[in-house]
Amino acid sequence: MKDYIAYTSAETSPEATPPPALPDLSHQEFLRDLMLGLAQQRKSISPKYFYDARGSQLFDRICCLPEYYPTRTELAILHTNARAIATHIGPHAEIVEFGAGSMEKVRILIDVLHSPQRYVPIDISAEHLLESANRMRMAYPALEVEPIVADYSQIAVLPPDVAPQGRRVGFFPGSTLGNFEPNEALQFLQMCATALAGGAMLLGVDLVKSPDRLHAAYNDSAGITADFNRNLLVRANRELGTNFQPDQFAHSAFYNAPYQRIEMHLVSTCQQTVNVGTAAFAFAEGETLHTENSYKFTADSLHQLAHRAGFTPGPVWTDDDNTFSLLWLDAPPRSTT
Ligand code: AVI
């Protein structure tokens, strides 16, 4: 029996199972996106390129920083409400985790579920996914663990349901939804509503709060977020042969209140030119490369978004300070045609 499924972004059917995406292919995509992003009047690049091995390690460190409240707050909400959430999920469930990473949070749920049937973690990082999936198999021998190596935002079709007596529940913690642009967030949730028809989704999102608290979370005193931001340039130099001078780019993160989002940028500290492939891109002093948006939500904005995506919002679990929330969203019924 094969112990994982690999999808490319072009093929999302479980019947078509090509080998894991070749590194060259992802380099080509990175090169194309970087060239397109640098050619824009306002230079930008997708935050998905933060997560090479070093970027993932730096992100793990960010999650433990005193200023970065989302991870520990979400973990606390999960611990406090695990049994109530388990009642909603019900027995014999199948949990599909989008962007599974270390699978730490899902364990809190699996530990209290009644006879969970299958766990389907989806992640683009094959090595990390398969290692974590093996740890899950050892920790939960009765649970079927079926990892899928793929860009979870492209998975329109999930493997056939194995648990007809239980529900299929999507789990998307960590407020990663906030790293999508609003139209992408809607499209992703619409895709989830279809893929999870008859089931539900548990979504973890960061909430709008005082700009000072937000600012501190993305400008930590140890400088880990700055390293995480600059690592994108280090990665480009290594993988694409670009000649960014990371120390000539300053980390900048601020709360853009009208858009309800943290913006992260790399600010060129001098006039300089960067070579990417055969092209050269000029940076004026003070010009920025926009590397990430992290949208924050309100109860209202979340309800509207969920409705527009086709979900029916249910209970919301939050902390006493309304810092972070976990939302239960019922997917539409399965179509009988
Ligand atoms: C992964 N994501 C939800 C994090 C966030 O808060 O937007 C990424 C991050 N960027 C800087 N710090 C953490």
Q: Which atom of ligand 1 is nearest to the CA of 175?
A: 3
Q: Is ligand 1 within 6 A of the CB of residue 179?
A: yes
Say how many Å lie between the CA of residue 17 and the centre of ligand 1.
Answer: 31
73 lines ligand 1 (CB under 6 A): no
Q: How confident is residue 9, by pLDDT bands cut at 50, 70 and 90?
A: very low
- Fill in the DSSP letter of residue 259: G
CA distance 114 to 28: 45
**What letter represents residue 54's amino acid?**
R
User: Does residue 17 carry a pLDDT above 60?
Assistant: no
Note the pLDDT tens digit of each residue in 163-201. 567 999 999 999 999 999 999 999 999 999 999 999 999
Best of 292, 295, 296 to mutate for ligand 1, by most ligand atoms within 8 A of CB? 292
Cβ atoms within 10 Å, residue 152: 22
Which residue's C-alpha comes closest to atom 9 of ligand 1? 59
Residues 6+ apart with CB under 8 A from 15: none
- Per-residue pLDDT tens for 80-129? 999 999 999 999 999 999 998 889 999 999 999 999 999 999 998 888 89
Alpha helices per DSSP H over 162-277: 182-195, 211-217, 224-240
Question: Would you state the structure tokens that stand for residue 303, as one six-digit string?
Answer: 């309800």
Q: How far is the CA of 175 from the centre of ligand 1 (A)?
A: 8
Q: How far apart are CA 38 and CA 280, in angstroms?
A: 9
Q: Are residues 14 and 158 in contact, defined by beta-carbon separation less than 8 angstroms?
A: yes
What is the number of the ligand 1 atom nearest to the C-alpha of 228?
11
Lowest mean pLDDT across 23-27, 47-51, 310-314: 23-27
Binding site membership of 220 for ligand 1 (Cβ less than 6 Å): no
| Cα dist from 216 to 169, 258, 264, 272, whole Å | 34, 19, 13, 30
State whether the beta carbon of 218 lies less than 6 angstroms from ligand 1: yes
Query: pTM for the full model?
Result: 0.91
Pairing mode of beta strands 279-283, 144-145: unpaired
Residue 30 CA to residue 156 CA, distance in Å, equals: 23
pLDDT of residue 18: 39
CA of residue 82 to ligand 1 center, whole Å: 24
Q: Are 96 and 158 in contact (CB under 8 A)?
A: yes
